[in-house]
Structure 1
Amino acid sequence: MRLLALALLLGGGTVLHPRPVMAQMVVGASDQDHALIKRIEDHLNTITLLTAQFHQVAPDGKQSTGTAWLDRTNRRMRFQYDAPSPLLLVANHDQVVFNDSQLGQTTTMPMDKTPIGLLLRPHLELSGDVRVTALMHEGPEIEITLVRDESPGDGSLTLLFHEGKTLLLRGWIVQDAQGASTRVDLLHATVGGPPPPDRLFDTDIGDK
């Protein structure tokens, strides 16, 4: 069950009062919506490297914390869970690998079959094969939900932003094909800086 929860890819929670927006179509999206979507797209594509502490809520309500590294230039990520959690997630080489050292189990999934794979694209265009299905802008809080247009059944990725002087990515919600959601909140995030060691993104983690 732990690997199943982790395989929902790091997201619990629901989008608050979303309103449908079709990014690829004029119908349903105002000029203001399109401008906001373009701002979000431009902001995401300035984030090449991000390091943060995270707080995760799984579909069953279980909470965990840890440290996250996102290297979007090289399409790789590491979620290192704080003890006593036995879980580790590494995304690299077009794969997402989950390891539970306590159970001695490792699960591998294609990155492009997971919603989180959208976030790891070095350049994410919110058009083409990506569809915006919901947009919520309430005060400084923004939520935007994305799916792959050709395979929406793979699940959705809802990105959470806080709008101040600039946009701030503060986390995401991942919903799997069965409708179960996992939420990740980013804390003390740092954008940029020197690249982390390659060893952090080693997907051969079965014995580590």
Structure 2
Amino acid sequence: MNSLISKVRLVAGAAVSAALVVSAPLTVAAPAAAQSSGDLAQAVSALRGISTLRANFVQTDRNGKRLGGVLTLKRPGKIRFQYEKGVPILVVSDGSALTFVDYSVRQVQRWPIRNSPLGALLDPNRDVMKYGKLVPVGNPNVVGIEVRDKSHPEYGVITMMFVRKASAPAGLELSSWASLDSQNNRTVINLSGHQYGAAVPDNTFRYNDPRGAARR
């Protein structure tokens, strides 16, 4: 179990950073030649069209280690990664702060979103510092977007994949994303069982503080 927890600690931050990028508007850069600017605009519309989303996820690290769970997203900026039973880790954002909770060691880490590189994406009133561009994928039914902050390469790169699906927002469904950090740690998140638009109460994005404080 200790090795499993170590794996989760390593990749959970990258996974949630990717999710937060997904939950926010993108500023788009020039499209790749293999795809059209219409595809890029459609993908951005698909992201903006998600009010709430629940989906199963499978997280895979660069060594092939896999963990599953349920992702809950509520725009703007609210995310919950509920890992499978037996994994004492929770990653959650309430829209103002990103929180990593490790119940095995009673540790809580919080990062203020609006004062972080993620803030520009989560707050539409701020200048967007991230850029998205199309990446060639070789499949007409798949649209790929790469997102990075060019002024801060240490933040890594996130590549999102959408499949064409008529019932999804704007006709595209986010099927997976891959995040690569500055240490070349690669994490892939695959989604399935998408449910859009369901009512999600804000207390979904609270957590039980293992340090003995009241529920946050």
TM-score class, shorter-chain normalisation, is 0.7 to 0.9
Structure 2: distance between partners of 1:174 and 1:4: 12
Q: Higher helix fraction: Structure 1 or Structure 2? A: 2
Distance verdict in 2 for CA 1:4–1:43, change over 3 Å: same
Paired with 1:180 and 1:91, the residues of 2 have a C-alpha distance of 22
Q: Quick one: higher RCO (CA 8 Å, sep 6+), 1 or 2?
A: 1
Structure 1 CA distance, aligned partners of 2:34 and 2:188? 30
Q: Which runs of 5+ in 2 are unaligned?
A: 1-5, 18-27
Q: What TM-score do you get using the length of structure 1 for normalisation?
A: 0.76
Q: Percent identity?
A: 23
RMSD between superposed Cα atoms in Å: 3.1
Query: CA 1:171–1:180 in structure 2 vs 1: closer, same or farther (change >3 Å)?
Result: same
- When residues 67 and 61 of structure 1 are mapped into structure 2, their CA distance, relative to the original with a 3 A threshold, is same
Q: 1:197 aligns with which of 198, 201, 208?
A: 201
1:6 aligns with 2:12: yes
CA distance in structure 2 between the aligned counterparts of 1:156 and 1:205, rounded to whole angstroms: 31
Aligned to 1:63: 66
On the 8 A contact 1:49/1:72 being kept in 2, the answer is yes
Q: 2:37 aligns with which of 11, 34, 37?
A: 34
- Deviation string, structure 1 residues 89-114 (Cα, Å, up to 9, x no partner): 10124321111212322222343646
**Alignment length (residue pairs):** 190
Within the alignment, does 1:54 sit opposite 2:57 as a pair?
Answer: yes
In structure 2, C-alpha distance between the alignment counterparts of 1:32 and 1:8, rounded to whole Å = 27
Answer yes or no: is the 8 Å Cα contact 1:57–1:182 preserved in 2. yes
The corresponding residue for 1:76 is 78
Query: Which portions of structure 1, spanning 4 or more consecutive aligned residues, are displaced by more than 6 angstroms?
Result: none
Compute the TM-score of the two structures, normalised by the length of structure 2. 0.74
Q: Aligned equivalents of 1:63 and 1:43: distance in 2?
A: 27
Counterparts of 1:24 and 1:42, CA distance in 2? 15
Partner Cα separation in structure 2 for residue 77 and residue 48 of structure 1: 12
Runs (5+) with no aligned partner, structure 1: 12-22
